[in-house]
Structure 1
């Protein structure tokens, strides 16, 4: 048995996940009642990810900031700009696509017991209060903005601590990262349970009914991943972006697709950054930060589902309002939780721009949950893989700039 487990673990995680999906589909189609206990594997997997991810973000960022040496340059300004620009452009692409290929919805019921934000002021207010949330509450409720704020504050406070204290923080950070890696190694079993549950509960009919909506969502995300993001990377690096793009999609996007959690995918991204030879002082902060605010996929979801609602109700939309929707989608996406389904509850906020009643908006949220098995997976894959992509692009641009300076300096002297 031990040798079998060793051989199993030697197979790449992606291949093991594919096996889990195939087994989950086969069990759901052939023995849906006989093996109903399989669903608990998916629930346990998701629960484990939700439990460990907030603690991981806290210690990773706190250790990175506490251990940063004064005077050592990082590239956070460029990375932050790419995060924000990428999220806004994603919302704009979704708006344009929704006008080119308008979709109407067969509204369903559900999610009525969830209270959405009522306006952009409430969203900003909520974001501010999340920043100063009690650290224990922030961890319990997976409030990643609050966790990030406390991690930064504590990291700054510990910059003057002894080296032993910083080493201890590093040990905690490494230990929690190892725990997340253990959980992710169980992904094939967890995903088998999730796929089994999705097919037994909803079947394929729900996906077929909303197939056109899924095509718009996935099409926008693919366009952003394969056109918009590579263009941004090319502008920064002045070199062919696609080898890097395909690498991050393969090594980060695929695992994020199945875990459906940007926060839980942080160790995968950190390992990929290390493999790419990036500056640890930079990616130790940019990757956890990206899991919180780099939400291009969420911006797509918010914009597409909002305009699908508008088209269903026959509401006329002018260019200025559509542009405003792109901005609102970007701002809202930055406040989306880093866990599965985090963007759906922000759809009513965007719908309020067009005077859509809350009860109808919440029905759209219900539609989002129906298609979530595809939408949320693609959204997370786009969000998480671009964290590494933009970090690598900014680092490459800085190296190119420094190289130019070093070549010019001798000539001037």
Structure 2
């Protein structure tokens, strides 16, 4: 009894730290690290080992996260539903992700964030030379998947994981009861592995403020205030890229005759929620409500929104493209056209397996940096402002999910109807004639059973 009061404050302090939002912890660590480095100077470089621990933890998670989330994401799609709505959703999501990462790269090349800045210990590192494009494309198909894992061959690991995910999807949808049962058993094992990795990710994110504090302090101690402008440039590039991507969404919806006022009137709430929570998956209930307000049938949004929360990462793709150029500039490496193409390819493929949870974009950036043969140390600089970038890129991700859902519903007969909420019922009057025809059409999909999310 006498020891209980003395233990309670310690546990309470730890609980308060865990419950404190990560975005604020990282922001405090960024400011405190910058102040420490500028004020203390050279002695602050003694904090480097604390930052190295954070870098090693991130690198440790890359391959397990890629393998498990890719298999889980691909196997969640029924082979029968890969046609029709599923094919349209995948094409839309992957195409917009390719546009997004290209926009991020082009904007970063124009602004050159990170130019003239050196990461801690960068002088001792020499980036690996990337192989020719043809060799890289051939090496996408691994001779030995386990060797690819050990060697860190990101594209080969992705190929093997996608192939396993497709095979698992066919097992789960097969007619043989034994094979189907084995498929479900394997899927439960994959889901358990994903949860295990996410628990480790959450643990690493608890340590992230310490690592960010140490790394930023070392950078500021070695470079002084010169590091602030490149980080501000990178932030401006990512936010500008998101603005360009949303303009692309507006153009696509205008092309399909979709009312923008009604769309953004319904999408405003999930966009703000995504910005605040930094989680596409956490925003899913709000996005579902917005899709109903738009008049989208559950046969569409019940499939496209959960799929988009995993596959559609346009904002994250912008961030990866811009941050990869930033890392190359910090490393003093001029990226070749082949390397840039590989960054686009890795970014699009990685978007399939990037989970819609805070912090996953940093893992996705690690994949692109590794594939481009760049040093890993400059990623720590991006980690310092990752929370600031994560807010806007998550908002872009969710906006893209809703845009794709609305466009697909517009192109599928019978998938638009009167909004369920009375406050929105009058808005259908302003829709295009084709939309009113779809709303009145009793298409076969409207009478079908709701599809379970994911």
Query: TM-score normalised to the size of structure 1?
Result: 0.65
CA contact (8 A) 1:87 1:299 kept: yes
CA contact (8 A) 1:52 1:180 kept: yes
Partner residue, 1:318: none
CA contact (8 A) 1:62 1:152 kept: yes
Partner residue, 1:334: 345
Partner residue, 2:321: 299
Partner residue, 2:448: none
1:394 Cα offset (Å): 0.5
Q: Distance in 2 between matches of 1:44 and 1:307?
A: 22
1:231 Cα offset (Å): 1.6
Partner residue, 2:58: 46
2:252 paired with 1:230: no
- CA 1:133/1:190 → structure 2, altered by over 3 Å: closer, same or farther? farther
Equivalent residue for 1:390, pick from 393, 397, 400 = 400
- CA 1:153/1:16 → structure 2, altered by over 3 Å: closer, same or farther? same
CA contact (8 A) 2:276 2:391 kept: no
- CA 1:388/1:123 → structure 2, altered by over 3 Å: closer, same or farther? farther
1:89 Cα offset (Å): 2.3
Q: SS of the residue aligned with 2:167? A: helix
Partner residue, 1:87: 101
1:198 Cα offset (Å): 0.7
Equivalenced residue count is 364
- CA 1:204/1:66 → structure 2, altered by over 3 Å: closer, same or farther? farther
Q: Distance in 2 between matches of 1:272 and 1:76?
A: 20
How is 1:249-288 mapped onto 2 (pairs within 5 angstroms)? 249-252=275-278, 268-273=279-284, 276-277=287-288, 279=301, 281-282=303-304, 286-288=308-310
Query: TM-score normalised to the size of structure 2?
Result: 0.61
How is 1:181-196 mapped onto 2 (pairs within 5 angstroms)? 181-187=198-204, 189-196=206-213
Equivalent residue for 2:77, pick from 62, 65, 89 = 65
How is 1:108-123 mapped onto 2 (pairs within 5 angstroms)? 109-112=123-126, 114-117=127-130, 122-123=132-133
- CA 1:96/1:185 → structure 2, altered by over 3 Å: closer, same or farther? closer
Residues 179-188 or 366-375, more deviating: 366-375
Consecutive unaligned residues of structure 2, counting only runs of 5 or more, are 1-6, 254-259, 292-300, 351-362, 417-431, 443-454
1:103 Cα offset (Å): 8.4
Partner residue, 2:164: 151
CA contact (8 A) 2:324 2:365 kept: no
CA-atom RMSD in angstroms: 4.9
- CA 1:38/1:301 → structure 2, altered by over 3 Å: closer, same or farther? closer
Q: SS of the residue aligned with 1:116? A: coil
2:232 paired with 1:215: yes
Residues 142-151 or 283-292, more deviating: 283-292
Deviation string 1:200-255 (CA, Å, 9 cap, x unpaired) is 54335436224333332221111112x11222233345233665444333323xxx
Q: SS of the residue aligned with 1:198? A: helix
Equivalent residue for 1:167, pick from 178, 184, 187 = 184
Partner residue, 1:129: 139
CA contact (8 A) 2:238 2:319 kept: yes
Residues 240-249 or 19-28, more deviating: 19-28
Partner residue, 2:426: none
1:53 Cα offset (Å): 1.0
1:82 Cα offset (Å): 1.1
- CA 1:190/1:43 → structure 2, altered by over 3 Å: closer, same or farther? farther
Partner residue, 1:358: none
Q: SS of the residue aligned with 2:76? A: helix
Q: Distance in 1 between matches of 2:388 and 2:129?
A: 23
